[in-house]
Amino acid sequence: MPRPHRRLASTCIGTVTAGLLATGAALAAPEKEQPQGSDIAMGAFLDSGQTGVARIPQLSRWLGGKEIRVGHTYLPGDRWARIDSPDFLEAWAQWRRAKQDRLFVLNVPMQEHNEDHVPDREVARLIRAGAEGEFDHHFEKLAHRLVELGVPDTVIVLGWEMNGATYTHRCAPDPEGWKEYWNRIVNTMRSVPGQEFKFDFAPNRGSDAIGWTKCYPGDDVVDIVGMDSYDQGPGRTFDEMVSQPYGLQQHVDFAKAHGKEISYPEWGLFRHGDNPVYVQRMLKWIEQHQPLYHTITDYCPHGVWQCKQNPRSTKVFRAALAPERPGPVIPTPVVPTPVIPTPVIPTPVIPTPVVPTPSIPTPQIPTPSIPAPEIPVPSPVVPSPQIPVPVPVPSPETPSTSPSPSPVPEPVPVPVPEPVPVPSPAVPSPEVPAPVPVPVPVPVSPEPVEPSPLVPAPEPVPSPAVPSPEAPVDPSTSPSPDPVPVPVPEPSPVLPPVPDPVVPKPEPADPTGNSTEWCVPINFGEWLSKLVGKQSVCVKIDWGKDSGFWPW
């Protein structure tokens, strides 16, 4: 809870020291980044103007490289011109834009003459004027300025510690009007294009002039519920600060009930002097409840870095926030792990059930029998020479009245069935019995028969049935008829030799007519004949003189 004269003095000092930034820019450069401590955004109020910006890296080095992620300052509340058009915002905006994870926190008064001890009656009138829109243009102008500087996401702590009795923007003189005025300011600033502001409602810890929950303006115009907590009453111990009405615990519970994040924009030492227990407990509380950010007020009597009158608290603060430096690496002794043999547990053998394979009979498909085509082999047809058969004549004792024998009609040829090509063996000329000499007026002897050349014989042709010769009549008992002339066999034509075709099985040729052997073919049918071949029944008669059948 800084006093008004301290803030005004710090502002003046900031203006005087502005020139130091040009020559002391090296002070602003942080050292090498060190291991991080808590990831909660942390900062400190070091000064309102450019000096405050320049001191941030120095504080970081003092804390052993701890990153300062929160830049916190206040707008002067002495007059409207310094509220809506401050001249030091550019330095803060430049610091904020340097890193994406930084926060710029700006405390904004709701009235001018904010620390001039204005009486309650005047405060009530000013609250009513603000609720009616009399001061809207100041806040609209400030919003445009922040957006132009590139810090549209500024956290605005509007009308801080409104539940106390110090500031002109306090709530107690007219709580309902005050809440209405808060809503008007928030809506005016949110109407500026490009803004992303977050509004932080931050009362003082404890009841103070009025319970701060009676000033809460509503969830739709509040983004963060904060609390300023210094080491002062009500409460002597930290536990009392936690449990008292409107204390630290109620603050956490209220924010959770309204679905809001919490913050601690101001905290530090005060009435109880150098109190390291308070510093230690407050840091532990912050770590436990994880606020969006926290900043310590670092000037006397509240601070721990710039204020040298709190050495014990300074030591605790620095030890708690400085990152832990890695100590020497101590090798871990290697302890051999005893080897415990793993018992071998036999795996039970589970027989696999035998599932019989169904037997599917293969259908018998009959193979079609395709008869081989018979390709007839043409055989050269050679005409068989017609051999005349001598015809027996009547008794030679009867003289012939004719000087020459009468011609005998030639036998009619019988049609021959389909020839079967067979190799014809050499067939000698048929034996012709010599004619019996008979007395004729002019004896005629037959010409010798020349043997036929070896030619393939066609399938034998059955000779026509020749009637048996009549028995000779005894010349002593009957007159002899006219002598019958003996036919003279014509010589067989000489044919050129023909090569014998290869035939599997030759068939015997039928005997020529008028021989001593007669053969009759037997017909077994076409199918059986192909299997057994052509067969015939032959009868042989011996016509020799000694057989008893010779009539002459």
Last residue of a domain, one of 321, 352, 371: 321
Of 181, 247, 251, 258, nearest in space to 223 by CA: 258
Judge whether residue 156 has pLDDT over 60.
yes
**The tokens of 431 are what?**
């034996």
Looking at the domain assignment, is residue 419 inside a domain? no
Query: Would you place residue 337 in the very low, low, confident or very high pLDDT band (cuts 50, 70, 90)?
Result: confident
pLDDT surpassing 80 at residue 123: yes
Burial class (CB in 10 A: 0-12, 13-18, 19+), 22: exposed
What's the pLDDT score for residue 507?
53
Residue 283 lies in a domain: yes
- 204 vs 414, higher pLDDT: 204
DSSP letter, residue 368? P
Could you report the per-residue pLDDT of 226-281, keeping only the tens digit for each? 999 999 999 999 999 999 999 999 999 999 999 999 999 999 999 999 999 999 99
pLDDT at position 530 is: 73
* Total domains, the chain: 2
In a domain, residue 484? The reply is no
pLDDT tens track for 28-73: 333 333 334 468 999 999 999 999 999 999 999 999 999 999 999 9
Q: Report yes or no on 493 lying in a domain.
A: no
Tell me if 502 is assigned to some domain: no
The reported pLDDT for the residue numbered 539 is 65
Q: How far apart are CA 215 and CA 162, in angstroms?
A: 8
Is a pLDDT exceeding 80 seen at residue 308? yes
Task: Specify the CATH number for the domain of residue 300.
Answer: 3.20.20.80
Q: How would you write 231-298 as a 3-class SS string?
A: CCCCCCCHHHHHHCCCCHHHHHHHHHHCCCEEEEEEEECCCCCCCHHHHHHHHHHHHHHCCCEEEEEC
Check residue 267 and give its pLDDT.
Answer: 98
Residue 485 lies in a domain: no
Pick the residue with more confidence: 551 or 31? 551
Show which of 277, 304, 321 is a domain's final residue: 321
Residue 359 lies in a domain: no
Predicted TM-score (pTM) of the model is 0.56
| Rounded average pLDDT over 388-404 | 43
* Domain assignment of residue 428, yes or no: no
Range of the domain at 529: 517-547
Question: Exposed, middle or buried: residue 318 (CB in 10 Å: 0-12, 13-18, 19+)?
Answer: middle
Tell whether the model's pLDDT for residue 23 goes beyond 50.
Answer: no
Domain boundary among 263, 290, 321: 321
Q: Stretch 370-379: mean pLDDT, rounded?
A: 53
- Residue 325 is predicted with a pLDDT of 65
What would the pLDDT profile of 88-110 be if each residue is shown by its tens digit? 999 999 999 999 999 999 999 99
* DSSP code of residue 228: B
Structure tokens belonging to residue 269: 């030492």
What the block records as the tokens of 434 is 């010599």
Over residues 422-438, the pLDDT tens digits come to 444 444 444 444 444 44
Q: Tell me the CA end-to-end span of the chain in Å, nearest whole number.
A: 185
Q: Which pLDDT score is estimated for 210?
A: 97
Residue-level pLDDT at 329? 66
Q: What is the pLDDT of residues 464-513, one digit of tens each?
A: 444 444 444 444 444 444 444 444 445 444 455 555 555 555 555 554 44
517 three-class SS: strand
- Note the pLDDT of residue 361: 64
Which of 35-49, 143-157, 167-181, 344-358 has the least mean pLDDT?
A: 344-358
Q: So what's the pLDDT on residue 352? A: 73
